[in-house]
């Protein structure tokens, strides 16, 4: 019996490792290439920092990075806000509209990125007479991420004890104060999760952003536009830097968890 459990655990762990290998091998390749003279045929290695220097000298990529961050943060704020409210509504209150609301919140899952992109493009252009702009791209990405944020909130809050809120209300707290002093301190890890996932998805979204941004460059649209002439080395360098920052953030999170400074919602 024990041996069977150990075997299951080993298999699971090995598969998780294989997934990480599969997911990160292409990224490792991108980082490796960012240090190579020849982008298309980087073997045997001939190391250089030229792409990083070019990246520092070129304004376009900084602008793209900034726009990507703006797009990611804007979308993530919108969808975390509506998803938090929606998930609290669905979990806390009984209503005859509940099933309908859940279905509406899950609708974006059924529509591929490409369709969100082109339908918003045609809708804005044909009906609202609106050219591509940052706001439309933000909204398009936020719609797409709303379901993700909603599901993440739902999964993490489904065991939240709403009697805590009732208790606070008994002692006279108004709903808003109750939210900020009782609910928020308990649900912020879930909100952070929803925010992060939405941010990551919007930050690098290509298909929704491409059709709705007009001429505003973000990192993925720059990459798309430069394909015709071959990807610039600066893009590889920038991707390597972004991954460096992400890795740094992961190390910090690990240390915070390791020394139990912040548990990110985990209860022993």
Out of 51, 74, 132, 165, name the contact with other proteins by CB under 8 A. 165
Out of 21, 49, 164, 253, name the contact with other proteins by CB under 8 A. 253
Under rule CB under 8 A, residue 234 binds other proteins:
no
Positive/negative CA dihedral, 142, 145, 151, 154: negative
Q: How would DSSP label each residue in 107-122? A: GGGGS-HHHHHHHHHH
Under rule CB under 8 A, residue 89 binds other proteins:
yes
Scanning 44-52, 54-62, 96-104, 180-188 for contacts with other proteins by CB under 8 A, the matching segment is: 96-104
Under rule CB under 8 A, residue 8 binds other proteins:
yes
Rounded least distance, CB 247 to other proteins, Å: 8
Q: Which is nearer to other proteins, 3 or 57 (CB)?
A: 3
Rounded least distance, CB 239 to other proteins, Å: 5
Going through the chain in order, the beta strands assigned E by DSSP cover: none
Q: How far apart are CA 124 and CA 36, in angstroms?
A: 43
117 phi and psi angles, rounded to 5 deg: -60, -55
Under rule CB under 8 A, residue 69 binds other proteins:
no
Of 204-223, binders to other proteins (CB under 8 A) are 204, 206-207, 211, 219-220, 223
Q: Which is nearer to other proteins, 67 or 120 (CB)?
A: 120
Of 178-197, binders to other proteins (CB under 8 A) are 189, 193, 196-197
Q: How far apart are CA 263 and CA 268, in angstroms?
A: 9
Structure tokens at 223: 């990459």
Out of 50, 54, 77, 111, name the contact with other proteins by CB under 8 A. 111
At 197 the three-state DSSP class reads: helix
Of 113-132, binders to other proteins (CB under 8 A) are 113-116, 118-123, 126-127
Q: How far apart are CA 107 and CA 118, in angstroms?
A: 17
Rounded least distance, CB 75 to other proteins, Å: 11
What long-range pairs does 239-243 form, CB within 8 A, spacing at least 24? 239/27, 239/30, 239/31, 239/34, 240/30, 240/31, 240/34, 240/35, 241/55, 243/27, 243/30, 243/31
Scanning 44-52, 54-62, 87-95, 180-188 for contacts with other proteins by CB under 8 A, the matching segment is: 87-95
Under rule CB under 8 A, residue 55 binds other proteins:
no
Rounded least distance, CB 242 to other proteins, Å: 6
Under rule CB under 8 A, residue 236 binds other proteins:
yes
Rounded least distance, CB 180 to other proteins, Å: 15
* CB-neighbour burial class of residue 93 (10 A; exposed 0-12, middle 13-18, buried 19+): exposed
Q: Which residue has the tokens 């209150």?
A: 93
């Amino acid at each position: 019996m024990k041996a069977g459990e150990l075997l299951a655990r080993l298999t699971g762990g090995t598969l998780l490792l294989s997934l990480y290998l599969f997911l990160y091998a292409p990224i490792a390749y991108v980082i490796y290439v960012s240090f190579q003279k020849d982008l298309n045929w980087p073997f045997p290695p001939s190391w250089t920092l030229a792409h990083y220097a070019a990246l520092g000298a070129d304004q376009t990529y900084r602008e793209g990075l900034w726009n990507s961050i703006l797009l990611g943060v804007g979308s993530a704020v919108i969808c975390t806000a509506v998803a938090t409210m929606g998930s609290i509504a669905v979990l806390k209150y009984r209503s005859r509209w509940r099933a309908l609301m859940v279905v509406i919140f899950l609708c974006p899952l059924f529509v591929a990125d490409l369709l969100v992109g082109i339908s918003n493009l045609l809708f804005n252009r044909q009906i609202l007479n609106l050219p591509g702009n940052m706001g439309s791209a933000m909204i398009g990405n936020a719609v797409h991420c709303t379901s993700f944020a909603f599901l993440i909130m739902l999964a993490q809050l489904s065991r939240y004890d709403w009697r805590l809120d009732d208790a606070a209300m008994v002692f006279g707290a108004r709903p808003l104060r109750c939210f900020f002093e009782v609910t928020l301190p308990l649900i912020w890890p879930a909100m952070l999760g929803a925010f992060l996932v939405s941010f990551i998805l919007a930050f690098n979204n290509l298909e929704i952003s491409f059709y709705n941004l007009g001429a505003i460059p973000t990192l993925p649209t720059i990459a798309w536009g430069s394909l015709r002439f071959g990807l610039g080395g600066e893009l590889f360098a920038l991707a390597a830097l972004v991954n460096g920052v992400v890795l740094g953030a992961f190390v910090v999170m690990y240390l915070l968890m390791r020394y139990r400074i912040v548990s990110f919602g985990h209860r022993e």
